Amino acid sequence: MDMTRTAPKLLWLDSFEMGIRELDKEHKQLFTELNELMDCLEQVPADEEERAALTARLAAVITHHKAHYAHEETLMARRKYAGLETHAREHRRLEKESDMMFETFTALPPSANEGRRTLALRIRDGLLDHFLHYDLRYKSHMLDAMGR
Ligand SMILES: [Fe+2]
Ligand SMILES: [Fe+2]
């Protein structure tokens, strides 16, 4: 059985909020975009137009994450976050990884629907993992700093 078929949608939890309004807003927005991507992946694209729409959506998801990473790093620097260098390195690694997978995605022949879907899901998983494993670590740093 192909488990990726049943990949769950993302549910935003209040505990994901960092208490930094701009970042919380962006994270929520990115969650929405990742869910919209999942909606898009539920159906096999029927024609060139639908394939192009999926490609555009995936490209937008990647671009918006990059813009968010730059913003997040600016805010972390402003707050003199000691883990900034490591976090920024992880952003760069992830950007490179997403770009490479996206390149492979765009090079797939029209018939490779399953391959396209798998790659889109891998990109999505990488972006989501970062939030869950790196950004939320920053949250505990923030809470410590505030003595909570
Ligand atoms: Fe983030
Ligand atoms: Fe991050």
Query: What pLDDT, on a 0 to 100 scale, did the predictor assign at position 5?
Result: 55
Distance between Cα 54 and ligand 2 center (Å): 25
Name the pTM for this structure. Answer: 0.90
Q: Phi-psi region for residue 84, left (φ > 0), alpha (ψ -120 to 50) or beta?
A: alpha
Three-class secondary structure of residue 64 per DSSP: helix
Distance between Cα 70 and ligand 1 center (Å): 9
pLDDT at 139 over 90: no
Distance between Cα 134 and ligand 2 center (Å): 6
pLDDT tens per residue across span 80-134: 999 999 999 999 999 999 999 999 999 999 999 999 999 999 999 999 999 999 9
Q: Which ligand is nearest to the CA of 90?
A: 2
Average model confidence (pLDDT) across the chain = 91
For the chain, the farthest-separated pair of C-alpha atoms sits apart, in whole angstroms, at 55
Query: What pLDDT, on a 0 to 100 scale, did the predictor assign at position 138?
Result: 86
pLDDT at 14 over 70: yes
Q: Which domains are present in the chain?
A: 19-145 (1.20.120.50)
Distance between Cα 66 and ligand 1 center (Å): 10
Average of pLDDT values for 44-73? 96
Query: What pLDDT, on a 0 to 100 scale, did the predictor assign at position 142?
Result: 72
Give the confidence band of 3 by pLDDT, cuts at 50, 70, 90. very low
Distance between Cα 102 and ligand 2 center (Å): 20
Residue 72 near residue 20 (C-beta atoms within 8 A): no
pLDDT at 1 over 60: no
Amino acid at 14: D
Token output for 12: 């935003």
pLDDT at 7 over 80: no
Secondary structure of 69-133 in the HEC alphabet?
Answer: HHHHHHHHHHCCCCCHHHHHHHHHHHHHHHHHHHHHHHHCCCCCHHHHHHHHHHHHHHHHHHHHH
Average of pLDDT values for 59-70? 98
Q: Which residues contact 80 (CB under 8 A, 6 or more apart)?
A: none
Average of pLDDT values for 11-20? 91
Distance between Cα 143 and ligand 1 center (Å): 16
